[in-house]
Structure 1
Amino acid sequence: MLDHVTLRTRDLEGTRAFFEAVLGLIPGDRPDFPFPGYWLYDGSEPIVHLIPGQGGAADRGAEAIDHVAFRLADHDGMRRRLDGMGIAYSRMELPDLGERRLFVHTPTGILLELVFREGKAGPASAT
């Protein structure tokens, strides 16, 4: 089981606001670290940690985490939400797996994959 993901971003406030608006995550308690950041919660679990980054361009050929995926419910509702917010996304249909996927970027370019399976939902339910 994955416990959480920590993302570096040059725009803490914008990235926090994005995760709140798009995935419904809520900032919550965080230890008193000597640097700024947020722990974003889905219910009682802090699943996304945000910390400051330098904002340099990512080397897409280097070894790095490529993207983070969230399992959600309500594919059509999420598309309406993204459309209403003017957030661009791409789509992938995987009928053999019973999945539909949406791909979005945070304001600083971090790739998020939103995975939808019929009748199943996981962390960061977008309802």
Structure 2
Amino acid sequence: MLHHVTLRTHDLEGTRAFFEAVLGLEAGYRPAFAFPGYWLYGNGEPVVHLIPGAKLPPDVNRESIDHVGFLLSEHDGMRARLEALGMAYSSMELPELGERRLFLRTHTGILLELVFKDTVADPEQPT
């Protein structure tokens, strides 16, 4: 079971604000480490840790995490939130898994996959 993900970012404040606005995570308790950062909580657990990182050009030869996935509810509500925030996203329907997914990037380029298992596709809603 995945406990948390730690993301390095050159923009701690902006990345924190992004996760708060888009996913509703909230900054909370973090031990007094010798370096700055945030622990962002969802459902009472610190699921995203943010720490400083340099802005480096992409390098496909360097090992890295490709994306981070979050299991969420209320697919249509999230779409409405992303549209209200003016955020670009793409969607994927996986009816064989009973899932719908939304993909978006943080303002610093981290790919997020939002997975929804609790809903079925609305035939009136374009994908």
TM-score by length of 2: 0.90
The correspondence of residues 81-120 of structure 1 with structure 2, limited to 5 A, is 81-118=81-118
Which protein, 1 or 2, shows the higher relative CO under an 8 Å CA cutoff with sep ≥ 6? 1
> Structure 1: how far apart are the matches of 2:69 and 2:62?
20
- AA paired with 1:91? S
Structure 2 gap ranges (5+): 120-127
Moved over 3 A (4+): none
How far did 1:59 drift? 1.6
Residues 1:61 and 1:93: Cα distance change in structure 2 (over 3 Å)? farther
CA-based RMSD:
1.0
- AA paired with 1:75? H
> Structure 2: how far apart are the matches of 1:117 and 1:59?
33
Q: Who is 2:27 aligned against?
A: 27
The correspondence of residues 51-90 of structure 1 with structure 2, limited to 5 A, is 51-90=51-90
Structure 1 gap ranges (5+): 120-127
Aligned residues: 119
Residues 51-104 of structure 1: per-residue CA shift (max 9 Å, x gap): 001011222343211000000001111000000000000111111111100001
> Structure 2: how far apart are the matches of 1:60 and 1:117?
31
> Structure 1: how far apart are the matches of 2:61 and 2:94?
26
How far did 1:44 drift? 1.9
> Structure 1: how far apart are the matches of 2:85 and 2:60?
27
